[in-house]
Every structure is written in C-alpha cells, then in structure tokens.
Structure 1
Amino acid sequence: MPAPSAYITGVGQSQVGTKLTRHPLLLTVDAVREALAEAGLTVQQIDGVATYPGRMAAYLGYSPVGADDLIDALGIRATWYLGAAEITSQLGAVVAAADAVRAGHARHVICFRTVYEAAALSRPEEYPPVRRATVDGFSQWFAPFNATSASSWVAQYAMRHVKHYGLTREQLAQIAITGRANAVHNPRALVREPLTLDQYMSSRMISTPLCLYDCDRFTDGSTALIVSAGDALDEVTCTPVRIAASAGTVEKYSWDQAEWMASYPTGADLWKHTDYKPADVDTVQLYDGFSFCVITWLEALGFCKVGEGGKFIEGGQRIARDGELPLNTFGGQIGAGRLHGFGFAHEAAVQLKGKGGPRQIPGDPRVAICTSGGGPLATALLLARD
C-alpha cells in the first residue's frame, strides 16, 4: 500500500510593504482568503492550522498572529493545530502540517507566517519594544560585544569562505543582483528596482563581508499555504504540488561555535528521502535573509561542492531566471521582502503551477526546492508537480 501523500494546494499572499496600517490579523486573513480561493475550498473545509513561531507577546512585530487567533477569527473547527518556535525553522510548520494530513489528523491545513516588524517599529506606542534590565540566556554572550544581529553571526561563516575558499564580494553580489532583477517582475515585491554591481560594491559594510545589500529588511505582510491530504484532492480545483520530501535540523540553537550552519546537514538529508537528484531540479527558492545563506544551501544540496558556491554563481548567468538553475524568482527576501521563509514555499508552488506571469521561468518546471533558515536551524522541502 503506497504511503499517504501531502500536497500544497492553494497559496496566497497579502499586501507586502513597510509601515503598513492594516492590522496584521487582517493581513493574515487576506492571505488565507486568496489561498482558499485558488484551492476552491471554503473555511468550513479547513480542519487544521499551523504557523511559526506562534504569537509572541513580547515581540509582536516579529510574530503578531498565532494559530489560535486565526482559528477564532475565521471560525475554524480544527482537529489539529500548531503554533510554536520549537521546530526546524519557519517551513517546519509546513512539514508538521504534511505529517498531520498523512497521519489522518486533518484533511486541509492552513499554514501561515505573518510579520509586522516595520510597522511595529514605526508605532512603538501600539507595539512597545521590549526593555530589559538584564541580559540572560545565550544573549549574554553576544550583547557585550554588540553582536546582537544575526548579520554578525552569519558573517563569521561567510568570512571563513572568503579566507579558506576564496569567495569574493563580486561573487556574493550575484545573490542580491539576481534577487533584485527578479523582483522587478513581481508586482508584490518590496523593492522593484534592479541593483548594479557598482551599487553593491559601494554600499556600506554591515558585518564584513556582508554589506547593506546582503541583508533583508523588516517587512509587513502575510503568506499562506494550504496543505491537503492526497485523498482530499477531489475537493480542490487548483493544480496540486506534492511535498515529495523534507528534511530539517536544529543544532546549536544558541549559535555557540557550531562548525557548520544547519543548512549543510539538512541539504544532505533531503536526498535520503527521495529518488530525485539535484539534476532533476528545475528551480530553487533558497532562504536569503543574508545572501551568504544561499551559498551554503547550494553547497549543502549538492549543486556544487563545499567551498565552490562562489564560483558556481559567478557572473550570475547560471542562477538567472532563464539560466540553468533559476534562483529566487520572486526576488527572495532581499528583493521581495522579509516574509521570513514562507515566501520561498509560496514561490516554488507558483512556479510549478505555471502562475508566475512575467517572472515565470521558461519550459515546464516540475521539481523545485524551497528552504528556510540555515543558521542553527534549517528546513528544506522538495516539491513536485505529478
């Protein structure tokens, strides 16, 4: 008897911007309604909800909406739901939903991620920032050195590639340049202007070797995916995309001197759960909260050897929308906005459904990889259109 399958059916996204005034719960509902409309489903057919990391009262800009908020707002009768940070990064919520429908705990699960960081920072009276008298937890080891941003932590891994493998800024620039070029064709992208190599090279340094354009920026918006059971596909009207394989890793959540970023074991593990090979992949949507994360994912997934990521993307032709391995065709987080992982799964589904419009890659794409995280925790999904 074949194993039960899980599919991404409807996908949706709200308005994306900075300093939005629409309430984050309403942005979430907007994204969910779009996903429902594409799938041809009603709220009454939804029996599961999953999100990452759940509502965070201490930092509402980072995560203002929890699974229970959406259940209440839409009147969902959930037989299974999840809202927690203790999973293998953002897309771990999609993996959990897939496991739930395969196990028969639900038939159609809404997965969503809502961010409101730009708006929250602009309205501190509504979203007061956390003020602490003491520093504890693993922050106590970073704060004294003013290393409070993940840019400082990722930069150390990037500098190892510079020193050991010869990674150049000109090579690294291709991630941001490619993302911005693709974002031009995405009507919802945060930045719809191309980026030149000269602009990149002359921008201010954030944490060597990462410059301003190597970093995503705070964004407001919501992304929703519907994960459906294989035996429930007769209820949907859109093209389903099968979750063919997944993998995830959590290692050194504190970032405390981990030898390699979690993308490396995750990428290797993904191929243990499928007969597909890297050569079968038509497009990759790889987490680029910082551009160097993409280098690690390309190496981890076997598209090139460890240390050869810079050479693999040199010049940008290979990863262009019409190249050998189209990358972040919606702009990635650098171009389209920091939707925190879920934008990559959304775009992978859009491309496999052939609904990319001006940014649709040539040919007939059938296999895609999307990822989230890559620091101390990481998730990878292999999607296929049967």
Structure 2
Amino acid sequence: MVDRENRDGATKRSGRPLPQLTPQNKFFWKSGEDGRLRIRECESCSALIHPPQPICRYCRGRQMGVRVVSGFATLIGFTVNHRFGLPGLKPPFVIAQVALEDDPRVHLTTNAIECEPDELVLGMRMEVVFHQDGDVWLPLFRPTAEQGEPAPLPVDEIEPEQIRFHIRPPATQDKFEDKVAITGIGASDLGRRLMVDPIELTVQACERAVADAGLTLDDIDGLSTYPGAGPVVGFGEGGIGAVEAALGLRPTWFNGGLETPGPSGSVIAAMLAVSAGLARHVLCYRTLWESTYGEYVKAGDISPPGGRTPSWMVPFGGTSAAHTLAQNAQRYFHRYGASRETLGWIALNQRANAAINPTAIYRDPMTMDDYLSARLVTTPFGLYDCDVPCDGAIAVIVSAVDTVADLAKPAIRVEAVGTQIVERIEWDQSTLTHEPQVLGPAAHLWTRTSLRPEDVDVAQLYDGFTFNALSWIEALGFCGIGEAKDFLDGGKNIARDGILPLNTHGGQLSHGRTHGMGLVHEAVTQLRGTAGDRQVRDARVAVVSSGGLTPGSAMLLRSDA
C-alpha cells in the first residue's frame, strides 16, 4: 500500500536521513512507486537475499533476479526510541524488525506505524505501507486489521545448541598464544568533556604503557589500533599515522582498522604479528573523545557528517547499536522470562565496583529503584543500561615471550583466543535467540585450551550495554543459554567475592566507555595482583571479551605467578 497523501508531493522530504541509491539497491527503495515490495531473489534456489547481493549465500548461485513479495510479515522485534532524535523523526517513535512471510530469513528494519507501542506484540502480523520521502519510498509496517494468535518467532539458521558443531578445531597444535605475552599497560586521564585533543590522550596512555613494561619508545617496532583513521567521529585519535607522527616511531609492522574481532581486536592482531616474528614489542591503543566531540558539535565548532546513508537501518532512525541490541534483549525477555531487573543486577554490580575505583566516572551508590526509575533511552534500555561516553585512551604492549625475563614486571601469558564468526554479521539479519557474535568466539576459545569455565577467577566482559555482559556470561558457559535470570538474581554470583567476579573496575557502564581495551587493562591489573581495594583474591586466570553485535573475540589470560 502507498501513502497517497505523501505521494502527491513528489519532491516532499521529511528531513530524515535517506538511503544512497545504487544500481544494486534502487529496485528496493523505488518499490513503493506501484505499492509492491520487491526483494532480491536467487533464481537457482528461490531464496530471498537481503540486503541484495550478487551471489546467493545459500546455494552460491549467481543467477539473481527480483521478486515481488506479498508485503506481509511477522513482527520479530521493536523498541521505542526515546533518546536519539533525527530530522524528520522526533522521539518517541518505534523502530521495528519484521520477518517476511515469503521467506522468514529476510528481516527488514522499519518503523511500526498506525498503532500505539503498547499494542505491539511479538509474533503479530504486519503489512507494508509505503511512505514517499523525496525520491525514495520507505517500507513502513502496521499491524494488519485481522489478528489471530501471535505466531512463533522464526527459527534461526543455527540454533544456540548447534553452534559447537560449526566450530573449526585448531589447524595445528603449535599455538601462537604460547609465543606472546602482555608486558605493559597504560591509561590516560579519563573523564567527561576533558576538552583536550585525542592524540594528547593517546600519547599519555602509550608513554605510560611503555614505561610500565620497562621499555623505551625506541623498543617499539609495531603499532596496532582500532578503529584506525577514518570517518569515526569521536571514536579515535587518527590511527597509525597520527601516533607515528607524534612519537616518531619506525614500526616494522602496523595495523589499524574497524574490521577486527571486537574493539580490542588490535591486541589479537598484535599477538599474531609477534608470533610470526614481524615485531618484538607492539604498542596497541584505543582512544575515545566522545564527550568533547559532543560539546564541539553543540557549540557549532564541528559539523557531524551528513548526506545520504548506505545503512539499511538509519533511514528508520536505527542510528545506534542500542536500537538493535534492545530488540535482542526484548526477544530474550520474551523467550526466557527475564526482565529489566535481570539486567539491573549487572548495572548495580558495575557501580559497586566503580565506587572503590578512583578513576571511575560514575561512583555514586545506586539501588535497583534508581536503575528502574532512570529515564528510558530505547526500550527496554534505560540510562544505566548504557555505557558512559567519555574521553580517554588505553594502551597495551604485546611482546615476544622470550623478552619477558628482562622486563620490569611479571608478564601476563595468553592461554587462548577465540574469534570465529558463525552467525550473520548484518545486525538486523542475524540471530533471534540471543545476541549475535558471542557464541562463535566463545566456543572457539574453549577449543584452544584445556581450561574450562570453572577455572576462571575473574571475568572482564564487554558491557557497552547490560545485555552485552549477560550474553557473554551465557556464551562462555558460566550458565546455560536462557539461565542468566537465575544466575544474576541478587547479584551475588558476579560480585567481587562471588563465583564469577565481573568487571571489577566498574566496567564500561560506570568506569567509562573504553571499548573493550579498559577490560584488558583491568584483567592484567587483577592478574598482577595490583588492583588494591578491588583486588580479587588469588586471581590467576581471567577471561576478557570484546564486541557487542560486531564480530567479537574472547581471550583467556593467565598469570604464571
């Protein structure tokens, strides 16, 4: 169906971000001209392929066409966005995901319209309504007039219990992990709106890490960072080029980019380089200056990037990982009976740990009532489900294991690393049963070690949002899939004196958003036994995870002390 009122004004635009039109996607964004939804189709096996590709992911056939589909779908997720406004999209509004009845493997991010949010139920039937916006027709969805019992949610391509059958065993018994160690860590000043250049923070952290390892800058022969140089506003220092220019280094190996196994994937890349003999001491670093960047934008000193977007989610207001992960959390609640209180125990635990960490940003006591009554961001996430934007940098030194006897402090050994991708990477096309990109790396980790979850003394698990940490707890086997409600209840199991001390420095939720590298820093601190009041007794083995929705990773670290 076409929104006729808007169609009559052929050039009328709402102001919302519109998609880039390419030869590959134009048929989709122009479907509304005749009110019929179109999806790329493999002519060999009849599978629908979205986003459109030149090859079928199922049969690898290359005869691709376009199919007119029914326009009916099942509601598989929704979140009420309260926080993130866009031109033409004033909060609150509903961002939703639907699975097409023609092929439920195809999910569309959209807006649910012509209904109140509390009328929406997972599994209800939806129908497309096209809304013209400039030169594109946005496929929005509304509940159908006739509603039966809600349908079951579609089955994942790979269910959680099947993940292990897709994990590749080690290709060789010669482990790269045995050839490397973490020898130095450093952190810059950390805070809100520090109003300093990000490269200044980076240099602070790097100099402190080098000194911590007992090295000099001239000893550094490798550099590794995430996300590198590029259009990642507020999320980096400028990459390898910026640090080389500032410090005058001459690395024999370097690496920087977004597509790594999680934000701390730069550390894993460094391990591989060192184990291959490309470098002896690699300086890894991660810098964020979101708070300062936001202030510059408010003042008009910086203009955020604009224009057409290649994203399939941004035209509907899906601008943040929060919007996608909130729908994963909602489906988890629906399937396993968890609730906001389940997530609240994670937020409260991180705050309790931050209270005794002088470098943490949020240290004030927090109760469950405080958590539940905080303003909503995007349902079911409230303010304290989300990590703290901040300014700061973390640096880590990865060294060849045969150098550690000469260094200043006990080296932390690397027991195992897990990185395998099993599920689809596109955020809205992936699994419906749990958070994507955690089960694969976790299962891969345990194939590379004889240690098991019960051997872990402390866990530093990615918590860009509370649901990230819950997902890693289950993925790594500290409880079963769907069992976190009981495992987290009361918070005792994840406290510093519990069976799985979690994010002992306060995590990203209270210490500050350092995108996984702060977790590595804290794991090393705990294994060295230098965490002071927050030290976990006899910590010898730590697990660290990185990534939330993105391809992630997990590392198992150990102390030889």
Specify if TM > 0.5: yes
Q: Deviations over 1:163-182 (max 9, x none)?
A: 11011221210111000110
- Contact 2:544–2:555 under 8 Å retained in 1: yes
Q: Deviations over 1:48-81 (max 9, x none)?
A: 110001022x333111231221122112221111
- Measured in 2, the distance between the counterparts of 1:36 and 1:92 equals 20
3-state SS in 1 of match to 2:428: coil
Equivalent residues in 2 for 1:52-63, closer than 5 Å: 52-56=226-230, 58-63=231-236
3-state SS in 1 of match to 2:200: helix
Range moving further from structure 2, 64-73 or 7-16: 64-73
Range moving further from structure 2, 61-70 or 271-280: 61-70
- Measured in 1, the distance between the counterparts of 2:199 and 2:323 equals 32
- Measured in 1, the distance between the counterparts of 2:305 and 2:543 equals 39
Equivalent residues in 2 for 1:67-78, closer than 5 Å: 67-78=240-251
3-state SS in 1 of match to 2:249: coil
- Measured in 2, the distance between the counterparts of 1:378 and 1:196 equals 31
- Measured in 1, the distance between the counterparts of 2:301 and 2:278 equals 36
Q: Which residue of 1 aligns with 2:146?
A: none
Q: Which residue of 1 aligns with 2:317?
A: 146
Range moving further from structure 2, 116-125 or 263-272: 116-125
- Measured in 2, the distance between the counterparts of 1:195 and 1:267 equals 31
In structure 2, stretches of 5+ residues that fail to align are 1-172
Amino acid at match of 2:215: L
- Measured in 1, the distance between the counterparts of 2:239 and 2:474 equals 34
- Contact 1:297–1:374 under 8 Å retained in 2: no
Quick check: 1:219 aligned with 2:390? yes
- Measured in 2, the distance between the counterparts of 1:273 and 1:330 equals 28
Q: 1:9 aligns with which of 152, 176, 183?
A: 183
- Measured in 2, the distance between the counterparts of 1:42 and 1:126 equals 40
Q: Which residue of 2 aligns with 1:257?
A: 429
- Contact 2:264–2:515 under 8 Å retained in 1: no
Q: Which residue of 1 aligns with 2:267?
A: 94
Q: Deviations over 1:351-374 (max 9, x none)?
A: 00011011111x211100111113
Q: Which residue of 2 aligns with 1:287?
A: 462
- Contact 1:245–1:382 under 8 Å retained in 2: yes
3-state SS in 1 of match to 2:419: strand
Which has the larger helix fraction? 1
In structure 2, the CA distance between the partners of 1:209 and 1:126, relative to structure 1 (3 Å rule), is: closer
- Measured in 1, the distance between the counterparts of 2:438 and 2:301 equals 33
Q: 2:200 aligns with which of 18, 23, 26?
A: 26
How much does 1:325 deviate?
A: 0.8
Q: Which residue of 1 aligns with 2:33?
A: none
- Contact 2:326–2:379 under 8 Å retained in 1: yes
- Contact 2:389–2:513 under 8 Å retained in 1: yes
- Measured in 1, the distance between the counterparts of 2:241 and 2:404 equals 26
Range moving further from structure 2, 86-95 or 288-297: 86-95
Quick check: 1:238 aligned with 2:409? yes
- Contact 1:350–1:356 under 8 Å retained in 2: yes
- Measured in 2, the distance between the counterparts of 1:173 and 1:246 equals 29
Amino acid at match of 1:130: P
Q: Deviations over 1:172-227 (max 9, x none)?
A: 10111000110111111111112111101111222222111100131100000000
- Measured in 2, the distance between the counterparts of 1:276 and 1:365 equals 15
3-state SS in 2 of match to 1:227: strand
Quick check: 1:314 aligned with 2:485? no
In structure 2, the CA distance between the partners of 1:333 and 1:164, relative to structure 1 (3 Å rule), is: same
Range moving further from structure 2, 101-110 or 72-81: 72-81
Range moving further from structure 2, 246-255 or 335-344: 246-255
Q: Deviations over 1:118-157 (max 9, x none)?
A: 101101378623332222x2x2x21232221111100111
- Measured in 2, the distance between the counterparts of 1:373 and 1:126 equals 32
Amino acid at match of 2:475: A
Quick check: 1:175 aligned with 2:350? no
Q: 1:82 aligns with which of 235, 252, 255?
A: 255
3-state SS in 2 of match to 1:256: helix
Q: 1:340 aligns with which of 507, 515, 519?
A: 515
- Contact 1:321–1:359 under 8 Å retained in 2: yes
- Measured in 2, the distance between the counterparts of 1:355 and 1:22 equals 29
Amino acid at match of 1:69: A
Q: Which residue of 1 aligns with 2:541?
A: 367
- Measured in 1, the distance between the counterparts of 2:211 and 2:301 equals 32
Where relative contact order (Cα < 8 A, 6+ residues apart) is larger, the structure is 1
Q: TM-score, normalised by structure 2?
A: 0.66
How much does 1:252 deviate?
A: 3.6
Sequence identity percentage:
44
Q: Which residue of 1 aligns with 2:216?
A: 42
Higher gyration radius (CA) = 2
Amino acid at match of 1:227: V
Q: Which residue of 1 aligns with 2:475?
A: 300
In structure 2, the CA distance between the partners of 1:276 and 1:127, relative to structure 1 (3 Å rule), is: farther
Q: Which residue of 2 aligns with 1:122?
A: 295
3-state SS in 2 of match to 1:179: helix
Equivalent residues in 2 for 1:177-216, closer than 5 Å: 177-216=348-387
- Measured in 2, the distance between the counterparts of 1:374 and 1:118 equals 21
- Measured in 2, the distance between the counterparts of 1:64 and 1:25 equals 5
- Contact 1:12–1:346 under 8 Å retained in 2: yes
Range moving further from structure 2, 370-379 or 11-20: 370-379
RMSD after superposition = 1.6
Q: Which residue of 1 aligns with 2:71?
A: none
Q: Which residue of 1 aligns with 2:451?
A: 276
3-state SS in 1 of match to 2:207: helix
Q: 2:284 aligns with which of 105, 108, 111?
A: 111
In structure 2, the CA distance between the partners of 1:242 and 1:126, relative to structure 1 (3 Å rule), is: farther
- Measured in 2, the distance between the counterparts of 1:167 and 1:88 equals 29
In structure 1, stretches of 5+ residues that fail to align are none
Amino acid at match of 1:309: A
- Contact 1:287–1:294 under 8 Å retained in 2: yes
Range moving further from structure 2, 227-236 or 300-309: 227-236
Amino acid at match of 2:324: W
